[in-house]
Structure 1
Amino acid sequence: MRFDGIRDDPGNSDAAASFDPLRPLLTRVAYRMLGSVADAEDAVQDAFLRWLATDRREVREPAAFLRRTVTRLCLDQLKSARRTRETYVGPWLPEPLLEEEADEDDVTLPLMLALERLSPLERAAFLLHDVFGVGFDEVAATIGRDAAATRQLAARARAHVREARPRYRLEREKGLEIADAFFAASRSGDMQALGALLAADVGMWSDGGGKRPAADRPILGFDTVLKLHRSLAVLFGKYGSTLVRTGTINGLPGFITREADGEVQTTALEIEDGKIVAIYVVRNPDKLQHLH
């Protein structure tokens, strides 16, 4: 939802001038909270409308005020989002975000999945403090808890997501090289080359959201993943799968393809010690509209 035409009103130009430099940061906060590009953009736009209605002369720190506004909007939305995800068809993955360069907050797809297991308040405390560097006093004011309780929320969250944080940074070029090799092997049916790329405990998650064919549960283990790709390679050979581009998707190397049904899909690869340990495929068209 966009209301950028509001800027045409000369009386609102100062509001836009102070808001626009903060929009990228606010969008990152909202996306990390919600896992949806469209929902994040809507939350930020709602915050802009509230900024227009605010007596801005009384706001000493616009960045803190707007970050607090966006976070509270996201907390409200997470309550309904959790109910929706309880009835979601198959594995749920966040909307894929294609990144032209490494994101400064270093939140990868596995970490975003770990955040899904937190309560909304734990998620907010962890993201604001540990990821975006906001002081506990401001975080406490944002989520409506005292500083001590906020520290406990962040500590619990930190313990839950510790294993999902990257242990070392994979060189971007090396990751994209592995992504290229995975695409070539999986589409050509070269199972020997594909097997050489996979870790023994590799897993695969496919999000079709009930809108497109996808596995309704995670595919776990080397033999099972390889067997699935052997079957998929037959379909790729018969109907085609076109590479659109490789790139970084939610902090992981991966690629976008256009499949036989004309729809795009994304594949992101979690890599450790040069081997693929997890494959994340998003096929739900509702989550891919922003990539067209």
Structure 2
Amino acid sequence: MDPSERRDPETAGTGRLILHEFESARGMLAGLAYRLLGSWHDAEDVLQDAYVRWSAADRTDVAEPRRYLTRVVTRLSIDVLRTRKARRESYTGEWLPEPVPSDALELEDISMALLHLMERLTPPQRAVYVLRTAFTLPYDEIAEILDRTPEDCRQLHRRALHELADDRPRFQPSAAEQRRLLLDFVAAARDGDLQRLEHLLKDSVTSWTDGGGLRRAARKPVVGREKVANFFTHIYAHADLTITPVDLATGPALKIVVRGNHHVLTVDTDGTRITTIRVLANPEKLGVLAVEREGAREGVDGGPGAVEGQA
């Protein structure tokens, strides 16, 4: 028996209950925090802070632990989004959501594309959108969580939908189709086959690269079939690549090593051609995928940013 249980069994029992109630909701809370933040690192910090607050909460005022914890995690996430906005202004290059393996976080109806798009929302808009769309909470409950009126929350949701409407992907391929498309894309670029590569790309295709200043990377999106095809043949053509398919919480991806540089590649499609490509090369965002970090601060040539400036 734990010595603390012999000294104070009632306190020990309460501690076990506190932990049990939190762990019972942890999967839901992790999904909520990741949807709100697009960062697994930030989501874990929020969960730790939420547990500290939960441990110190007055139980007499908590009728439903999951509801209470949802409110705490949402409000903490909004605080992070607000402070992160200032940090984002000094971020080097483009910012992309952090990839998380599917065995660490089980999510439905979420994609890297949607997480990326949600960056354009204000923190309250993002919170209402996630709580309403992903968790189907009624507006009166969302209002309680955000300390706003139900009508305010309806308006925030309408604005979020309007902001996302034009660019939200309309087509979601099967996991098998997406894996095939990823492999076909990399194979064409590695072979230096521009004709085959361009056939896979939509005219208006856009490529985003996130190196975070720790890798050489294109600091602006690369737009257009020809530019994108040239960009990736420059990186992959006739290179010795290590390609590992990975299942992220947001869908299939490839983990690629080229000339000592590591990155994660994801694509969006309209059902016929690739519309968006995302290259996540910032080593600080790849730790959860157990990607090696050697050379992370040396800016080794040959990585996704080898044609830096061609945006």
Question: What is the match of residue 110 of structure 2?
Answer: 107
Distance of 1:222 and 1:47 partners within structure 2 = 45
Moved more, 112-121 or 52-61: 52-61
Paired AA for residue 47 in structure 2: V
1:56 matched to 2:59? The reply is yes
Distance of 1:19 and 1:198 partners within structure 2 = 46
1:37-75 deviation line (CA, Å, top 9, x unaligned): 011011011111111111334311111100000001011
Question: What is the match of residue 278 of structure 2?
Answer: 280
- 1:178–1:99 distance in 2 versus 1, CA, 3 Å: same
Question: What is the match of residue 288 of structure 2?
Answer: 290
Q: Which has the higher helix share?
A: 1
Structure with larger Rg: 2
Moved more, 106-115 or 201-210: 106-115
- 1:287–1:104 distance in 2 versus 1, CA, 3 Å: closer
Superposed CA RMSD in Å reads: 2.1
- Displacement after TM superposition at 1:34 (Å): 1.2
- 1:105–1:114 distance in 2 versus 1, CA, 3 Å: same
User: 2:169·2:270 contact (CA, 8 Å) conserved in 1?
Assistant: no
Percent sequence identity over aligned pairs? 34
Question: What is the match of residue 241 of structure 2?
Answer: 241
Distance of 1:158 and 1:103 partners within structure 2 = 24
Question: What is the match of residue 9 of structure 2?
Answer: none
Moved more, 51-60 or 32-41: 51-60
Aligned residues between the structures: 280
User: 1:189·1:230 contact (CA, 8 Å) conserved in 2?
Assistant: yes
- 1:54–1:286 distance in 2 versus 1, CA, 3 Å: same
TM-score, structure 2 length as denominator?
A: 0.84
Paired AA for residue 56 in structure 1: R
Question: What is the match of residue 122 of structure 1?
Answer: 125
Match 1:166 to one of 166, 169, 174: 169
User: 1:102·1:251 contact (CA, 8 Å) conserved in 2?
Assistant: no
User: 1:111·1:164 contact (CA, 8 Å) conserved in 2?
Assistant: no
**Equivalent position SS for 1:116:** helix
Question: What is the match of residue 154 of structure 2?
Answer: 151
Question: What is the match of residue 266 of structure 2?
Answer: 268
Question: What is the match of residue 234 of structure 2?
Answer: 231
**Equivalent position SS for 1:213:** coil
Unaligned runs of 5+ in 1: 1-8
**Equivalent position SS for 2:171:** coil
TM-score, structure 1 length as denominator?
A: 0.89
**Equivalent position SS for 1:99:** coil
Paired AA for residue 242 in structure 1: T
Aligned pairs (5 A) from 1:1-292: 11-99=14-102, 104-234=107-237, 237=239, 240-243=240-243, 245-249=244-248, 251-261=250-260, 263-292=261-290
User: 1:249·1:268 contact (CA, 8 Å) conserved in 2?
Assistant: no
